[in-house]
Amino acid sequence: MNRNFLAAWNLLLSTFSFIGMARTMPHLIHNLFNMTLQQNVCQEAADDWGSFSTGLWVQLFIYSKPFELIDTYFIVARKRPLIFLHWYHHVTVLLFCWHSYAFEAATGLFFVAMNYSVHAIMYGYYCLMALRMKPKWINPVYITMAQITQMIVGISVCLASYYYKKNHTGTCSVTDDNLIAGAVMYGSYAFLFIKFALDRFLPKSMRFGTGMEKTPKAKKIE
């Protein structure tokens, strides 16, 4: 496969994600500094970020998820191992995003802004890798740590929203099944990404137990 074509695809996704981050992250930061945590995780999307430019880029985020499955094609076409974490992550994210958007989950802006931010850097890194232009000072462990942090924040947001929904008066604009699915999904991601990080980055001398003694080759994870 032509590496330039792979690089162009990753550059497209990185650029798209950078723009999406620029249109959603400032809104999230503004909310965090000017609203209570309960408002951040419970307020109806239509009354806050569900319209104007932020709403547009949330919508584009949802529509972009099926296109990210093209990543799987590149892995298969290049005859690379298709690990469980890759296809499980892509399929469940697609389903969860569509469910959250259909039911206008109040927590949606957190997930969108975080994912845009991580993908902006991650796909840029993959572009440089495809072009064989990655600077030596760029360590992939930082990207994996950003992914793990994203999962931990995702779990926390779901738990906070569930707490306010069950223990405080007033409404919380997110369904129980969405919160449970989100917590389970992010929890499983956290476990899988942490295992991936240990398998890939932890020195052999520091490993324990069985099944972690062999360092796998670098794999593309989204």
pLDDT tens, 34-57? Answer: 999 999 999 999 999 998 999 999
User: Residues 179, 180, 181, CA angle at the centre, nearest 5°?
Assistant: 90
pLDDT of res. 77: 83
What are the helix and strand counts (H, E) for the chain? 8, 0
The pair of structure tokens assigned to 205 is: 């001398």
To the nearest 10 degrees (0 to 180), the angle between helices 52-68 and 108-130 is: 50
Query: 82: helix, coil or strand?
Result: coil
pLDDT of res. 178: 96
**Residue 13 domain-assigned (yes or no):** yes
**Residue 212 domain-assigned (yes or no):** no
Q: Distance from first CA to last CA of the chain, Å, rounded?
A: 20
Q: Is the pLDDT of residue 221 over 80?
A: no
Taking only Cα atoms into account, the Rg of the chain, rounded to an integer number of angstroms, comes to 18
Q: Is the pLDDT of residue 222 over 50?
A: no
**Residue 218 domain-assigned (yes or no):** no
State the number of CA atoms in the 13 A half-sphere of 20 facing the CB: 28
The pair of structure tokens assigned to 81 is: 């191992």
Number of domains in the chain: 1
Report the catalytic residues.
Answer: 89
**Residue 216 domain-assigned (yes or no):** no
pLDDT of res. 215: 44
- CB burial of residue 167 (10 Å; 0-12, 13-18, 19+): exposed
pLDDT of res. 74: 86
- CA dist 66 and 13 (Å) reads 13
- CA dist 123 and 168 (Å) reads 41
What does the pLDDT average to over 53-82?
91
Mean pLDDT of the chain: 90
**Residue 143 domain-assigned (yes or no):** yes
pLDDT of res. 110: 98
**Residue 220 domain-assigned (yes or no):** no
pLDDT tens, 52-66? Answer: 999 999 999 999 999
Question: Which residue range(s) make up the domain with 48?
Answer: 3-206
pLDDT of res. 219: 47
